[in-house]
Amino acid sequence: EAQVTQNPRYLITVTGKKLTVTCSQNMNHEYMSWYRQDPGLGLRQIYYSMNVEVTDKGDVPEGYKVSRKEKRNFPLILESPSPNQTSLYFCASSYRLGISNEQFFGPGTRLTVL
């Protein structure tokens, strides 16, 4: 089954404790990205990757890191989480960026930073 998987689905952590949220897709997609969803602010892009070893900042990259060493994986790293990073996070992928290429979304990771 074609899908985007994220782990963990729920995470409660404390300020300053490094964490990684994994994202994997099995569709051989080139484009992958991370979003955060906050009430009243909608969906905002954190980082995106056009292909392996090619990453770039989205609208809200501060406090986050990403890497794209393999085509299928795109982990999101919070080196020193803070309470303002409490949010619902989505990973997404598409074949490539361009005409008619829809985004496929993971189920989401709800992160709480105390």
Partner 1 sequence: GDSVTQMEGPVTLSEEAFLTINCTYTATGYPSLFWYVQYPGEGLQLLLKATKADDKGSNKGFEATYRKETTSFHLEKGSVQVSDSAVYFCAPSPMDTGRRALTFGSGTRLQVQP
Binding site for partner 1 (CB under 8 A): 4, 33, 35, 40-45, 48, 50, 56-59, 90, 92, 96-103, 105-108
Nearest to partner 1 of 81, 106 (CB atom): 106
Report, in Å, the least distance between residue 67 CB and partner 1: 17
Give the shortest CB-3-to-partner 1 separation in angstroms: 10
How distant is the alpha carbon of residue 33 from its chain centre? 6
Question: What Å distances lie between residue 4 and 63, 88, 104, CA to CA?
Answer: 24, 16, 7
Torsion on CA atoms 105, 76, 84, 10, rounded to nearest 10: 60
Q: Which is nearer to partner 1, 14 or 43 (CB)?
A: 43
